[in-house]
């Protein structure tokens, strides 16, 4: 395993990797961009409520694990867990990987970044070309140093490519985990759906320790394609997470992005989505819960660049103890995007006086003939509901826990069915941890 | 079982509402408490159930000799006290089916614990059939099982939902807080049918009402008239007719009640 001790060694890291030039040049572009700006501060609007000055980001080490062959998952391995494909990374190393044989024959690619780079030295495959496009578009939208950092250093991750008009019925599962202290890890998820394709992807983050995750995701949803992506954050309270996602949704395509932030001690995520064709349909939903001294800051961007597209963002969170949650939602409508229909809604449940929730929805509308609206509410648990349940025999904590779950129910109902139970039980675990301290 | 209310006094914020209520109820008995608006009817229900907005300033309430007023709301419920709300709350996100199942599970566990048994071992059986049968009995559409509790329900549907819960929980004492208000005659009959089904040696009820109408369908054993926070007279069911004929003004004249100056 090779260790690099600071951001100052990024150039050396890129040089050491021996990657094909078509990809190494992308990294170098990202590195150049990275060097040009300084870390976000409280003066940057998006980072106004998330102070990262206490992290010495430049001094964090990162490493490249020795390459090992992942365990290959067979069709029967995958069938037993109900997935079309599954990949698992642990501390940067791919430990298992598999895709149903039929899907592979249909032209589906489900692989790792390293695998692609070792096989495609000229960058001529469809997947490589899609990756280049995705990387370039991500870099274009990477207006902060953290995002540029992740692009220059992205060292492992999953790539998904679904060919034209092919539908993958079962889910593809990506699990990423890490353990240990005082390092940064750079996963990458790239998803490309050709026109008319369909896929459902689950990504779960697990692990414990004082490490930092700096992840970038890219989604390209071709004409008439349909992508559902869900990310579940379930790491421990010490973990710091930055995620920057970029998506492009073409004509008549549908993209559904759901994030369940039910872990991590300090989280700053962004999903920036562009509607590029008429009839495109975007759904950005999420739930989040923070207790103790956790901090969660989530941003969504619904950028309407084409006429007659639809988008919707529904985020719902709860906060307890001394924790703080922030949701920033932007609907941006370009001058040519007439006939836009966009909505965004955010609700926060503040469970005690020391906890804090900020909701910052905003609209930038540069054309007429649009329907755009947003709504946000922040409230407490209702005492009359707690009393009602207690008259039916619920203890105070059972009543509170039930009402918190009920509050999330509507949004959990928007998650892909296969994940509802997983998210529900994760949420239940989180709430069970804090219920005793709640105030009625 | 016995519910003994002795010289009960209570207030909301700074306003004294109950000014010394005395009432003794045994299972097997149906008591009606009648009174005009502002007499303290709903305060009495809420105080008995333990609503946090009401402060007891004097007196006591004993449930089989135990101090009810010191019990948590859920302990009162699990020892057999039930209240049908005048205005049941809506709880989006919890379906009626899921709610009823949980209520029954919690009750079974609490009862096991009171008996000194392992609450984990007290899984109720036959729940779904019993719920469906009870819904049929109360003429509640089975579709309600999948609806969120009380969300968008009409007044009558909410009241039926309260009676449904009472039939499912089988309390020893039920307080029906103006369950008849806002009901049409069909709904009133259904609600009354539910209460009458509970009648028996193990069940007592306090029916709180402004009007005599519900008492045509649920015949009370005792009738009490509440006025300005006190029970001014009690009697048998004949008292209902007297009140119906003569009105609350008669009560005032009869018992020498003087209206306070409006301030």
DSSP string, A3-69: EE-SGGGHHHHHHHH---HHHHHHHHHHHHHHHHSPPP-TTSGGGTT---TTS-GGG-BEEEPPP-P
**Number of domains present in the structure of chain A:** 1
Mutate: best of B73, B79, B94, B102, partner A, most A CBs <10 A: B73
Domain annotation covers residue A355? no
The answer, yes or no, to whether residue A435 has pLDDT greater than 60, is no
Domain annotation covers residue A389? no
Sheet containing strand B54-63, edge to edge, reads B15-26, B2-12, B54-63, B66-67
The answer, yes or no, to whether residue B246 has pLDDT greater than 90, is no
Full residue range of the structural domain in which residue A30 is found: 2-276
The fraction of chain A above a pLDDT of 90, given in percent, is 93
User: What value of ipTM does the predicted structure carry?
Assistant: 0.95
Residues 346-385 of A with CB under 8 A from B: 382-385
- At B260 the pLDDT is 58
**φ, ψ of residue A255 in degrees (nearest 5):** -130, 130
Q: With an 8 Å Cβ cutoff, is A402 touching chain B?
A: yes
Test B49 with A405 for CB contact under 8 angstroms: no
Mutate: best of A349, A393, A397, partner B, most B CBs <10 A: A393
Pairing of strands B230-235, B222-227: antiparallel
pLDDT category at A1 given cuts 50, 70, 90 is: confident
The answer to whether residues A372 and A381 touch, using CB atoms and an 8 Å cutoff, is no
When the pLDDT of each residue in chain A is averaged and rounded to a whole number, the result is 95
Domain annotation covers residue A234? yes
Alpha-carbon gap: B199 to the closest alpha carbon of chain A (Å) = 20
- At A299 the pLDDT is 98
Residues of B with CB under 8 A from a CB of A: 49-52, 72-74, 76-78, 82-83, 85, 88-89, 91-94, 102-103, 106-107, 110, 165, 169
Query: What digits encode the pLDDT tens for the residues A230-247?
Result: 999 999 999 999 999 999
Pick the CATH number of B25-44+80-254 from 1.20.210.10, 3.40.50.1220, 3.40.50.300, 1.10.10.10: 3.40.50.300
Query: What digits encode the pLDDT tens for the residues A311-366?
Result: 999 999 999 999 999 999 999 999 999 999 999 999 999 999 999 999 999 999 99
Provide the residue ranges of all domains of chain B, joining segments of one domain with +.
25-44+80-254
CA A51 to chain centre: 20
Query: What digits encode the pLDDT tens for the residues B78-104?
Result: 999 999 999 999 999 999 999 999 999
For A24, residues 6+ apart whose C-beta sits below 8 A from its C-beta are: A14, A17
Of B52, B83, B91, the CB nearest to A385: B91
Pairwise CA distance, residues A439 & A397, whole Å = 9
């Amino acid at each position: 395993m090779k260790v690099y001790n600071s951001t100052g060694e990024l150039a050396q890291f890129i040089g050491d990797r021996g990657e094909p030039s078509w990809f190494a040049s992308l990294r170098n572009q990202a590195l150049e961009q990275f060097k040009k700006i300084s870390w976000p501060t409280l003066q940057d609007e998006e980072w106004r409520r998330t102070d990262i000055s206490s992290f010495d980001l430049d001094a964090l080490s990162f490493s490249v694990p020795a390459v090992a062959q992942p365990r290959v998952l067979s069709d029967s391995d995958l069938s037993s867990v109900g997935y079309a494909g599954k990949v698992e990374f642990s501390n940067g190393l791919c430990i298992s990987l598999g895709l149903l044989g039929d899907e592979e024959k249909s032209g589906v690619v489900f692989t790792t970044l390293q695998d692609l780079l070792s096989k495609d030295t000229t960058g001529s495959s469809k997947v490589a070309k899609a990756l280049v496009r995705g990387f370039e578009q991500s870099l274009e939208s990477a207006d902060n140093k953290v995002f540029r950092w992740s692009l220059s250093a992205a060292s492992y991750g999953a790539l998904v490519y679904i060919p034209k008009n092919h539908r993958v019925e079962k889910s593809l599962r990506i699990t990423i985990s890490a353990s240990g202290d005082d390092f940064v890890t750079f996963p990458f998820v790239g998803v490309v759906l050709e026109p008319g394709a369909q896929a459902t992807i689950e990504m779960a983050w697990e692990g414990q320790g004082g490490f930092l995750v700096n992840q970038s995701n890219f989604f390209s949803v071709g004409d008439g394609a349909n992508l559902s992506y869900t990310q579940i954050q379930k790491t421990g309270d010490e973990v710091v997470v930055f995620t920057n996602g970029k998506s492009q949704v073409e004509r008549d395509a549908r993209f559904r992005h759901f994030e369940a932030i039910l872990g991590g001690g300090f989280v700053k995520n962004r999903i920036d989505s562009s509607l590029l064709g008429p009839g495109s349909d975007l759904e950005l939903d999420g739930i989040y819960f923070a207790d103790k001294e956790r901090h969660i800051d989530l941003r969504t961007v619904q950028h309407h660049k084409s006429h007659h597209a639809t988008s919707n963002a529904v985020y719902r969170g709860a906060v307890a103890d001394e924790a703080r949650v922030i949701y920033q939602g932007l609907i941006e409508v370009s001058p040519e995007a007439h006939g836009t229909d966009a909505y965004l809604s955010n609700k926060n449940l503040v469970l005690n006086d020391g906890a804090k929730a900020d909701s910052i929805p905003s609209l930038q509308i540069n054309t007429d003939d649009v329907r755009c609206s947003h709504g946000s509410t922040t409230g407490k648990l209702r005492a009359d509901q707690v009393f009602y349940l207690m008259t039916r025999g619920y203890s105070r904590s059972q009543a509170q826990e039930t009402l918190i779950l009920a509050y999330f129910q509507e949004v959990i109902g928007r998650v892909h069915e296969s994940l509802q139970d997983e998210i529900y039980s994760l949420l239940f675990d989180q709430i069970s941890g804090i219920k005793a301290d709640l105030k009625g | 079982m016995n519910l003994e209310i002795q010289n009960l006094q209570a207030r909301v914020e700074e306003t004294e509402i109950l000014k010394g209520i005395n009432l003794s109820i045994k299972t097997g008995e149906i008591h009606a408490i009648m009174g005009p608006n502002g007499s303290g009817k709903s305060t009495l229900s809420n105080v008995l159930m333990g609503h946090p907005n009401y402060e007891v300033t004097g007196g006591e309430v004993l449930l089989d000799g135990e101090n009810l007023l010191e019990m948590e709301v859920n302990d009162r419920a699990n020892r057999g006290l039930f209240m049908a709300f005048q205005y049941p709350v809506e709880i989006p996100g919890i379906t009626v089916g899921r709610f009823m199942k949980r209520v029954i599970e919690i009750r079974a566990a609490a009862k096991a614990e009171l008996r000194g048994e392992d609450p984990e071992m007290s899984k109720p059986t036959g729940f779904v059939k019993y719920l469906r049968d009870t819904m049929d009995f109360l003429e509640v559409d089975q579709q309600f099982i999948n609806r969120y509790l009380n969300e968008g329900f009409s007044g009558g549907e909410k009241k039926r939902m309260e009676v449904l819960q009472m039939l499912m929980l089988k309390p020893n004492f039920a307080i029906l807080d103006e369950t008849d208000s806002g009901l049409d005659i069909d709904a009133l009959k259904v609600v009354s049918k539910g209460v009458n089904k509970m009648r028996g040696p193990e069940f007592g009820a306090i029916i709180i009402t402004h009007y005599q109408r519900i008492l045509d369908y649920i015949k009370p054993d005792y009738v009490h008239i509440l006025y300005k926070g006190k029970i001014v007279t009690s009697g048998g069911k004949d008292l209902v007719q007297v009140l119906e004929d003569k009105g609350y003004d008669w009560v005032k004249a009869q018992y020498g009640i003087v209206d306070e100056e409006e301030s």
